[in-house]
Amino acid sequence: MPDIDGVTITSPDKVVFPQGGRTKLDLVRYYQAVAEGALRGVSGRPMILKRFVHGIEQEAFFQKRAPAKRPAWIEVAELRYRSGRSAEEVVVTDTRQLLWVVNLGCVDLNPHPVRAADLAHPDELRIDLDPVPGVPWGQVLETAQVAREVLADHGLVAWPKTSGSRGFHVYARITPDWDFSQVRRAAEAVAREVERRAPDLATSRWWKEERQGVFVDYNQNAYDRTVASAYSVRPVRDGRVSTPLTWEEVPGCRPEEFTVDTVPKRFAALGDPWEDMDLHAGSLTSLLELAEAQGPPPERTEVPLIEIARAQHKDEALAGLEAWKARHAAVVEFLEPADVLVDGMRGRSSVWYRIRVNLQHVPEGMRPEQEALEADYNPWPADWRPPEP
């Protein structure tokens, strides 16, 4: 077993990405090559361990608690949750700790927006641009530019990166003077202002069935939410990376260009575009004033929504959708891409999947009633229910 920066790599030949045959050792060497940038995104932050112990083609499980058997040099911080539970989570501060986490089967890195020294006050604001199905990539990038303008108008420097998936991330470093509820409120103000400035591009509507265009997701700033950090490899087939960019690069960027194969070369040649991020921590005062002026968000609009499936695995949920479509072929002809809502729902230790269909584009006389679910998985133990949002 190879030893890299003081970490013994177990099962180095285990295939993590079947497409291309990338192994755990390949993943470790990637993070070693970009460690300086990856540490900028996670250093000092408690993180949830999202472990793909059998590779990316099987579901990950989420581990909040640091493994009981861990080296003495692994740091932890105790976080408390709304359920009343608490957990000592891993805090990475150097390359050895980073590679130890990757050796556990973590493909991407999921830190909280706080430092271990002050767990109550975030020091970054995160905007996740999430396009509804059918939205072109160019519209996502246009929305990112609007978000940048809104943040700049309120005294914050915006830092862009690809998400490594369908969306895009815009971060702003802030001074740790506000609690989670205030940071989330400021992010919601950004989302509503982006929608006001570019209603044909973006939406801030909370309810998924109401969204059109690019959803400016402000809830990633809520307590206990994490986002894949800079230089995280994402669990997608071609090994894409959530890659920091300059704003000059954003208009022509393509997410498939940034992978475990290309990003180390880019990092070696260009360095990290986010290198100076910590020098630009700003205030939320102006955004919170904007939030006050905006008033309460719009109320939920009632739409004809039915649920199709709840399943432990995505392929099971999608199979249930196909079975429903086969029975309602005439209805399917009226559905638009955004009318099929596929939700990855985080359970206690893993993601489960829910599929719903919005029938708003189906003539009223043809709309099917709610039927028994095609798959009916119960993600909660009998003695537990998720906390209220």
Type of residue at 372: A
Provide the pLDDT confidence category of residue 381 given band limits of 50, 70 and 90: low
Provide the pLDDT confidence category of residue 348 given band limits of 50, 70 and 90: low
Provide the pLDDT confidence category of residue 387 given band limits of 50, 70 and 90: very low
Average pLDDT over residues 77-91: 88
Tokens read off for 100:
């130890």
What pLDDT was estimated at residue 275?
A: 96
pLDDT in tens, 202-212: 999 999 888 99
Task: Read off the DSSP letter of residue 380.
Answer: S
Least confident span in 150-159, 186-195, 332-341: 332-341
What pLDDT was estimated at residue 388?
A: 36
What pLDDT was estimated at residue 352?
A: 87
pLDDT in tens, 252-296: 999 999 999 999 999 999 999 999 999 999 999 999 999 999 999
Residue closest to 367 by CA, chosen among 330, 336, 339: 330
pLDDT in tens, 217-260: 999 999 989 999 999 999 999 999 999 999 999 999 999 999 99
Side-chain-side CA neighbours of residue 220 (13 Å): 25
pTM above 0.95, yes or no: no
Dist. CA 356–CA 346, nearest whole Å: 16
pLDDT in tens, 36-62: 999 999 999 999 999 998 899 888 888
Structure-model confidence comparison of residues 149 and 134, the more confident one: 149
What pLDDT was estimated at residue 120?
A: 95
What is the domain partition of the chain in residue ranges?
305-376
What pLDDT was estimated at residue 344?
A: 83
Helix spans in the chain (H): 24-33, 35-42, 95-103, 137-153, 180-197, 263-270, 285-294, 314-327, 329-332
Structure-model confidence comparison of residues 123 and 62, the more confident one: 123
What pLDDT was estimated at residue 349?
A: 63
What's the mean per-residue pLDDT of the chain? 93
What pLDDT was estimated at residue 60?
A: 86
